[in-house]
Structure 1
Amino acid sequence: MSDKQRLGALARGKVRTAEIKAKVLKALESIEREIENNEGIYPHNGGSLSKNEVARRAGVGKVTFFTPTQTELNAYVDNWLASLKNKEVIGRARVNASHAERAAAWKQKYEDLAQNHHVSELELQRALAEKDEVLALLRALKVENKKLTLEINRLKGGNVVILK
């Protein structure tokens, strides 16, 4: 192989290396967005996220990270996975546990809502009963007012004076 061919091959290799790095970084960003949008759980592959899953998402071969030209990218992905596993729910067992925790949290929210609904219904019944009592009192007071008004009108000619 001539020097010209070797230099051309090295240049093409550098372009491929840059393309692979760009694909992998784009896949990592996409994975982070998906985890963020799914309440901290990786939504694919049963929640399991590994270097092989990153390679699959990036559209590169599994062995790509282990080639001599990709050692820096390999270390970057390892560090990214390690930091992600410390702060997010990654892995099938942790995802299943997280699903159970989320189901329990939703069940608790449902039970709290049911309790609040029950309390609201009781308060409504009490308010309606109070309203009925007040309306009955109002009717009685109107009747008494009418009687007293009639009595005053009957006695107007006498010693009773209306004060205003």
Structure 2
Amino acid sequence: MPRERLTREARFWAKVALPSTPDGCLIWTAHLTSSGYGGFTGPGRRNARAHRYAYEMLVGPVPDGLQLDHLCKERRCVRPDHLEPVTLVENVMRGESVAAQNAQRTHCKRGHALSGENLYRKPDGRRVCRSCRRARERNLTPAPRLAHNAYHREWKRKRKDSE
């Protein structure tokens, strides 16, 4: 007797645990990607993130240029009302990455404000405290400054060669 085939939706929901957390997350119990998100074979045999598949099945397509942010911060959660379409920048800033932590920082490690006249932006976008930068430059007398600059040039050359 041939085995009855489940619909794609039935296969999907068979891999979801009912809410067991206090915030009501629907936890994906099957395959996880290396980054901790649920993986599911969606339409056309293409691999899809489980949370994205659930959102598109129950809410609709994710708008172009946006990605889904887990409001509950649980990567395995597939509950659509725990997901919000946001821009890449907003998603990164809501996270716990080094970039998010630095962007949220309001003072340098010595306590100076990172705003207004005391803020210097490097060409690559990094923020630098002007007070600390001036103090560093004052402490480098001409001889040590030349040695420091030579070391820095050599370091940059080696880094570029290794890329």
State the TM-score, normalizing by the size of structure 2. 0.26
Structure of greater relative contact order (alpha carbons < 8 Å, 6+ residues apart): 1
Bigger-Rg structure (1/2): 1
State the TM-score, normalizing by the size of structure 1. 0.26
Q: Which has the higher helix share?
A: 1
Q: Which has the higher strand share?
A: 2
